[in-house]
Amino acid sequence: MEILSQLRKYNYQQVVFCNDNSSGLKAIIAVHDTTLGPALGGVRMWPYASEEEALEDVLRLSRGMTYKASVSGCNLGGGKSVIIGDPKTQKTEALLRAMGRFIHSLGGKYICGQDIGTNSHDMAVIQQETPFASCVHEKAGGPGDPSFATAWGVKTGTQAILKAVYGSDSLTDRRIAIQGVGNVGYFVAKYCHEEGAKIIAADISEELLKRVSDEFAAEIVGIDDIYGVECDVFSPCAFGAVVNDDTIDKFKCKGISGSANNVLKENRHGMELQKRGIFYGPDYLVNSGGLIHCQEEVLGEVVKERVLEKVSRIYDQTLQVFKKAEEEGISTAEASDRIAEERIKSISEIGRIWAE
């Protein structure tokens, strides 16, 4: 990969390669844009097949965080970091603290949080080296895992889809098909079930499936069969790129709203969904509840009720995206991008005021 040309193409601000021989840390931090505020994004630890694969992932994810913050109204920028390694066998206190020191060296330009391969306990370790860490575990004085807030946003986005399709946002007797019922997917199932929805679930974990079956009377289907289930809304909460050439003709849903990132394998799939009459709630909008939770943490005390009130605004934001898509004859994914870009542009053009 020609790194600098890639950075220029999407206007990345900074990429930092991190190495610490003593702990075995090999990591990359990407800061895409800080127009709206400090870049916030999770620390992902994954056994990437190559350094190029890790770089591609961190660049893609950090840019996505910029759009997520902008379209959801957060005063944050987009960033992300990846640690190359197996979190089950290679994650140590020394490695995490080394990562914390590299994050601290950016002076607050990048604030980290949990992601795939890391958790709130890990953020507490990183916080020993830098104050620029969010999602810190409760026992270390933080607000903990933001999964409940992410799930509330997905539920809210789902209701916006139902409003657009049926004229009513009621979840009563609606069929919600959830792919992945781990932390976020479990809460999506819980919130929808509590409002009367019928849950269909798929996951690779039999334990997680038993849990949602016992608690929410969920109908269980195969991990690949979930695409063809007749339902009102399909909620991908596990894998990215699940809307692709192989799956798009299988969908029998009215809309798609989930917590997984990069649900569309390619941008063109957003328009393909639209042609099929399927309302797509852009992933980085409907799953932005966790980011909103982290913003509250960065700004001060996290109050759950206030977080959920702010996350609930995703409902109106999703309907705004649908309206713009219809008015301009574009996909909802492109409409969301344009709204995010317009906000960043408007803030970047505000004049600076000199003060000694």
Is the pLDDT score of 319 beyond 90? Answer: yes
Judge whether residue 356 has pLDDT over 70: no
Instruction: Give residue 319's Cα distance to chain centre.
Output: 19
Mean pLDDT of 212-229: 97
| pLDDT of the residue at 180 | 96
Give strand pairing partners of 176.
199, 233
Q: Sort 88 into a burial class: Cβ within 10 Å, 0-12 / 13-18 / 19+.
A: exposed
Mean pLDDT to the nearest integer, 39-52 = 96
* pLDDT beyond 80 at 300: no
Percent of the chain with pLDDT over 70: 99
Q: What is the pLDDT of residue 139?
A: 86
Residues 6+ apart with CB under 8 A from 282: 71, 318, 321, 332, 333, 336
Give me the pLDDT at residue 351, please: 78
List the catalytic residue out of 80, 91, 109, 155: 80
Tokens of 270: 């957003």
Rounded mean pLDDT of 96-116? 96
3-state secondary structure the chain: CCHHHHHHHCCCCEEEEEEECCCCEEEEEEEEECCCCCEEEEEEEECCCCHHHHHHHHHHHHHHHHHHHHHCCCCCEEEEEEEECCCCCCCCHHHHHHHHHHHHCCCCCEEEEECCCCCHHHHHHHCCCCCCECCCCHHHCCCCCCHHHHHHHHHHHHHHHHHHHHCCCCCCCCEEEEECCCHHHHHHHHHHHHCCCEEEEECCCHHHHHHHHHHHCCEECCCCHHHHCECCEEEECCCCCCECCCCCCCCECCEECCCCCCCECCCHHHHHHHHCCCEECCHHHHCCHHHHHHHHHHHCCCCHHHHHHHHCCHHHHHHHHHHHHHHHCCCHHHHHHHHHHHHHHHHHCCCCCCCC
Residue 52 backbone dihedrals phi, psi, to 5 degrees: -65, -40
Q: What are 77's two structure tokens?
A: 């920028």
Residue 354 clears pLDDT 80, i.e. is over it: no
Mean per-residue pLDDT, 300-319: 90
Percent over 90 (pLDDT), the chain: 86
Q: Check if 323 is active-site.
A: no
pLDDT(140) > 90: no
State the pLDDT at residue 290. 92
196-202: average pLDDT: 98
| Residue 329 confidence (pLDDT) above 70 | yes
Q: Is 311 left (phi over 0), alpha (psi -120 to 50) or beta?
A: alpha
Q: What per-residue confidence (pLDDT) applies to 305? A: 87
Mean pLDDT of 75-97: 97
Given a cut of 80, is residue 291 above it in pLDDT? Answer: yes
Check pLDDT > 70 for residue 355. Answer: no
How confident is the model over 236-257, as a mean pLDDT? Answer: 95
Structure-block tokens of residue 97: 């603290």
Q: What is the pLDDT of residue 340?
A: 97
Which pLDDT band, with edges at 50, 70 and 90, does 347 fall under? very high
**What pTM, to 2 d.p., does this model score?**
0.89
pLDDT in tens, 145-177: 889 999 999 999 999 999 999 999 999 999 999
* pLDDT for position 302: 73
Name, in order, each residue with C-beta under 8 angstroms of 5's C-beta and a sequence gap of 6 or more.
none
In order of their start, the domains of the chain are 3-62+75-140 (3.40.50.10860), 147-288+315-341 (3.40.50.720)
pLDDT at residue 1 in the model: 63
Residue 105 has pLDDT above 90, yes or no: yes
What is the per-residue pLDDT across 89-99, written as a single tens digit (0 to 9) for each? 999 999 999 99
